[in-house]
Homo-oligomer: A and B are copies of this chain.
């Protein structure tokens, strides 16, 4: 019996992931890292895989503007490594326990402290956090160094220099500002939905925008981030990133717990200022608003509370408004995509957008 051919998009995404895995195995930098537990902290997240949506974006925008995606291989690897260092530091800050179904970097390194004979749980946790700060730092350097090696792939040196400058001088301050604002919003009353949406752009949109710009710049052989195709590719990805995050908020409150892999209402219990919640606070009546305020940041919130909050967010129009905003951003993304030449890479980017914006888990 002949098996059906895999859907082209799924196969193409798997090919990107396989290529990143191969490139990772060829990397020499981890061998320079000591002690071994730090090395493990540096390589853990990249080796766990994930969907590799960012490398796909780099390679496919390169192809979409008429370039050879092979010239963007190390740029694709660099963006993936860069994403992973930000996750390590983000996980420390959020105190998260798992990442991609396994212990977060600081939790992983805390177990080394136990093996090394640190007696107290507090001491082990501190060792884990400290080594994880350092693991993120090494990965940060590694990502920039990998981007520099795009020149050996065939990317013009002036384009590579422009990309390094943009990653370090633009993406880093903005993305990290997004992380800091996310921390700061939790301490400040009166944060608006518009402020949160801007934070989502900084925290997620800016790196996706860079990934698309990097591919387009290498593909078009230009160091100009405002060249029309580069601009369109960047805006496509930035809009998709924010739409993705809004969808993430919706799934966190209305999603399928089994498919999502985390409990519904976790954001609510943590008091996370999501656009969905802020829309609810702005639109609900006094009773609904009081209920939302009672539940937000309340660790005792249980299933019946979540059901009540779902009803409030639905009835007051917050769900519809957030969904409409995500769809509007997704439509804007698609319009920017239409500005790129119509070829098979653009078709893949269109499916990439579907995956990012219409996901249910």
Q: Give A residues with C-beta under 8 Å from B.
A: 29, 32-35, 37-38, 89, 92-93, 113, 116-118, 127, 130-131, 133-134, 136-138, 140-142, 144-145, 148-149, 151, 157-158, 160-161, 164-165, 167-174, 176-177, 179-181, 183-184, 187-188
Contact = CB atoms under 8 A, between A and B. Distances in A.
B33 A173 contact: yes
6 interchain residue pairs of minimum CB distance: A141-B172, A145-B169, A145-B168, A141-B168, A144-B168, A38-B180
Contacts of A172: 137-138, 140-142, 145
Given A116-B187, A140-B140, A145-B169, A177 B32 contact: yes
A250 B341 CA distance: 67
- Quick one: copies of this chain in the complex? 2
Contacts of A131: 180, 183
Given A148-B165, A157-B161, A32 B180 contact: no
A140 B142 contact: no
Contacts of A145: 164-165, 168-169, 172
Contact of A161 (B32, B151, B181): B151
B32 A137 contact: no
A174 B38 CA distance: 11
Contact of A141 (B138, B169, B179): B169
B142 A173 contact: yes
A11 B181 CA distance: 43
Given A34-B177, A140-B140, A160-B161, 17 more contacts: A29-B169, A33-B177, A38-B176, A89-B133, A89-B134, A93-B134, A127-B183, A133-B133, A141-B168, A141-B173, A142-B173, A144-B164, A145-B168, A148-B165, A148-B168, A151-B161, A157-B161
Given A130-B183, A161-B161, A183-B127, A116 B32 contact: no
B34 A181 contact: yes
A172 B93 CA distance: 22
A29 B172 CA distance: 10
